[in-house]
Amino acid sequence: MRISVFGLGYVGCVSAACLASMGHEVVGVDVNPAKIELVNGGRAPIVEERIGELVERAVREGRLRATADAAAAVGSSDLSLVCVGTPSAPNGSLSTAYLERVAEQIGRALRPGHVVVFRSTMLPGTCAELLIPILELSSGLRAGADFGVAVNPEFLREGTSVRDFFAPPKTVIGESDPASGDVVAGLYEGLPGEVFRVPIPVAEMTKYADNAFHAVKIGFANELGAVCQALGVDSYQVMDVFLADRKLNISPAYLRPGFAFGGSCLPKDLRGLVYAARKADVSVPLLSHVLPANEAHLRRAFDLVTAPGLRKVGLFGLSFKPGTDDLRESPLVELAERLLGKGYDLRIYDANVSMSRLMGANREYIAERLPHLGDLLADSVAEVLDHAEVCVIGSTDPAVLDGLDGFRGKVIDLVRVPGAATHRDRRDYVGIGW
Show which residues are catalytic.
265
> Any residues with CB less than 8 A from the CB of 427 and at least 6 apart, and which?
none
Q: How far does CA 396 lie from the centroid of its chain?
A: 24
Beta bridge partners of 147: 143
Angle formed by the axes of helices 33-40 and 51-60, nearest 10°: 70
Q: Is the dihedral of CA 200, 205, 207, 209 positive or negative?
A: negative
Beta bridge partners of 172: 196
Radius of gyration of the chain (CA): 27
Closest listed residue to residue 81, CA positions, set 54, 116, 121: 116
Neighbours of 367 (CB within 10 A): 12
- Helix, strand or coil for residue 390? strand
Q: Is the dihedral of CA 57, 58, 63, 69 positive or negative?
A: negative
Amino acid identity of residue 305, one-letter, is V
The DSSP code for 388 is -
* DSSP-assigned states of every residue in 240-300: HHHHH-TTTTSSSTT-S--S---SSSHHHHHHHHHHHHHHTT---HHHHTHHHHHHHHHHH
Pinpoint the alpha helices (H) of 65-176: 70-75, 97-109, 126, 132-139, 161-166
The DSSP code for 110 is -
Cα–Cα distance between 347 and 376 in angstroms, integer?
Answer: 5
Contact 120, 137 (CB under 8 A): no
> Any residues with CB less than 8 A from the CB of 277 and at least 6 apart, and which?
223, 226, 227, 230, 283, 284, 287, 288
